[in-house]
Amino acid sequence: MKARHKRFGIVIVGLAALGLATFLVLNALKGNLSYFFSPSEVVEGKAPANHLFRLGGLVEAGSLSREEGDLTVRFVVTDLAQRVTVAYSGILPDLFAEGQGVIAQGRMGPDKVFVAEEVLAKHDETYMPPEVAAALKESGKMGERHPGSKPL
C-alpha cells in the first residue's frame, strides 16, 4: 500500500464519518429547523402555547375581513386540512392575497385566534407570464401544485 492510497483512504473514511455525524445531528434536530408550523400542527397542539411561533399556510379564499374603524385584518390560514384564524394590525406585503402563501409570526390568543406581530408573504417556485397564468386559470389547472412540491 502506497502512502497516497493510505491518504486517499483517510479522506474517504473521514468524509463518510462526517456525513454520518451530520445526518445524525440533522435527524435529531428535525422539527426544530423548520421555520414555521402548519395549521394542522397548531390544531394538534404541536406549536408552543405561551410564546412566539410562526404559522404558515395559504390564506383561505373569501376569509379576509377588516374591522370597522380599525387597522386590524382577520383572515384564515389553512393547509387544506385545518384552519386557524389570524388577526393582524400592520402593513401587509404586496404579494399578500387570498389563496396566497403566508407566514405569520405571533402567539395564540385565548380565543383560539392567532395574534400576528409580523406577516410575510411566501411565494412558490412557479414563474410564468400573465397570459399563461390566465390560460391555466381558465382551464382550471392553476390550482394544481407541482407533484414534487410540498404542501404549504
Partner 1 sequence: MTSRLINWFKFSSPASFYPLARKISLVSTVIAVVLIAVGLYMSFFVAPTDYKQGEGYRIIFVHVPASWMSMFIYVVMAGWAALGLVFNTRLSAMMAQALAPTGAMFAFLSLWTGSFWGKPMWGTWWVWDARITSELILLFLYLGYMALRAAIDDPRRGDRASAILLLVGVVNVPIIYYSVKWWNTLHQGSTIRMNQESTMEETMLLTMLIMTLGFWAYSIAVAMARVRTVILERERSTTWVRELGGGEI
How many residues touch partner 1 (CB under 8 A)?
44
Q: Greatest CA separation found in the chain?
A: 82
19 is a contact residue toward partner 1 (CB under 8 A): yes
Does residue 14 touch partner 1 according to CB under 8 A?
A: yes
Distance between CA atoms of residues 71 and 91, nearest Å: 9
Q: Identify the residue among 129, 139, 141, 143 touching partner 1 (CB under 8 A).
A: 129
Which CB, 68 or 128, lies closer to partner 1? 128
For 48, residues 6+ apart whose C-beta sits below 8 A from its C-beta are none
Residue of 1, 33, 110, 139 interacting with partner 1 (CB under 8 A): 33
The stretch near partner 1 (CB under 8 A) out of 19-27, 44-52, 66-74, 81-89 is 19-27
In the numeric block, which cell numbers belong to residue 139? 382551464
Rounded Cα–Cα distance for residues 71 and 52 (Å): 22
CA distance linking residue 76 with residue 137, whole number of Å:
23
Q: Which residues bind partner 1 (CB under 8 A)?
A: 4, 7-8, 11, 14-15, 18-19, 22, 26, 33-38, 56, 92-96, 103, 118-130, 132-134, 146-150
